[in-house]
Amino acid sequence: MTHGVGTVSFFHPQSNSLPGALLNALAEAIQAAGRNDSVRVVVLRSEGESAFCAGASFDELIAIKDVETGNAFFTGFAKVINALRTCPKLIIGRVHGKAVGGGVGVASSVDFCFATQRASVKLSELAVGIGPFVVGPAVERKIGVSAMSQLAINASEWATADWAREKGLYAEVFETTEAMDDAIDLLATKLAASNPEAMSELKTIFWKGTENWDTLLVERAAISGRLVLSEFTRNAIESFKKK
């Protein structure tokens, strides 16, 4: 933490994909930042130079053998989104590269998101026989039903970072990571000097109408947990892993 700016960072060697253990750790780190009185504003980022987040771990998806395990895995995404939603601190997103599936959900759940031109987005879930059920409410809240449905239906195609900015997912898009980081530092420094009570009240207003997400996202996770066991989905995931 630097001068009231807390950073929550995650990394996975497979394009920052999110296995269950990492999802739980990420949710806990966000909650801890929210409880830390020394933190005024949070920056959420991933490590490395390639993708921001590749979404669900295919290795873990294909290893799911029963409904309970499937529910637990997809509930991990619900925990992260709800942690971002309920954190009393404003959260700035740093999206340096591509965001897929759950990664789009994470980017949609921060309060202000910066990105680079490399940060194209894709909701690929339908292409592997599932659907963006857990992340859907967060994406829909950020960019609207029409844009979310375009991503969800055209599941194998990328939308550019400029498209994501036009739809409201990204606040600003930069040519270089360095320029993005300068902008993040500037905004984070300003927010760290702002009234924490006022920022917390603003965040409550921004997220009004999502009070049922603690149950809604878990219910959505159950849909994915059931579908991931289907023969169609398992074959589709195996095909993707071979690409």
* 202 is a domain residue: yes
What CATH number corresponds to the domain at position 70? 3.90.226.10
User: What phi, psi does 76 have (nearest 5°)?
Assistant: -60, -40
Cα–Cα nearest to 156, from 240, 51, 241 = 240
As for how many domains the chain has, the answer is 1
* 113 is a domain residue: yes
Structure-token pair, residue 1: 């933490």
* 224 is a domain residue: yes
CB distance 175 to 99 below 8 Å? no
How far is Cα of residue 54 from the mean position of the Cα atoms in its chain? 10
Cα–Cα distance measured from residue 207 to residue 10, given in angstroms and rounded to the nearest whole number: 24
Domain range enclosing 222: 5-182+196-238
* 66 is a domain residue: yes
Contacts of 108 (CB under 8 A, 6+ apart): 135, 138, 139, 141, 142, 143, 169
Consecutive H or E run containing 207: none
pTM confidence score: 0.95
* 243 is a domain residue: no
* 190 is a domain residue: no
Cα–Cα nearest to 78, from 147, 149, 138, 10 = 138
How much is the pLDDT for 242?
A: 66
How much is the pLDDT for 237?
A: 83
Residue type, 105: G
Contacts of 70 (CB under 8 A, 6+ apart): 64, 224, 225, 226, 228, 229
* 73 is a domain residue: yes
Q: Directed axis angle between helix 136-153 and helix 102-109, to 10°?
A: 130
* 170 is a domain residue: yes
- The Cα-based distances of 207 to 21, 141, 171, 200 in angstroms read 27, 9, 17, 11
In order along its 243 residues, the chain shows pLDDT tens digits of 678 999 999 999 999 999 999 999 999 999 999 999 999 999 999 999 999 999 998 889 888 999 999 999 999 999 999 999 999 999 999 999 999 999 999 999 999 999 999 999 999 999 999 999 999 999 999 999 999 999 999 999 999 999 999 999 999 999 999 999 999 999 999 999 999 999 999 999 999 999 999 999 999 999 999 999 999 988 888 877 666
CB distance 52 to 103 below 8 Å? yes
3-class SS of residue 157: coil
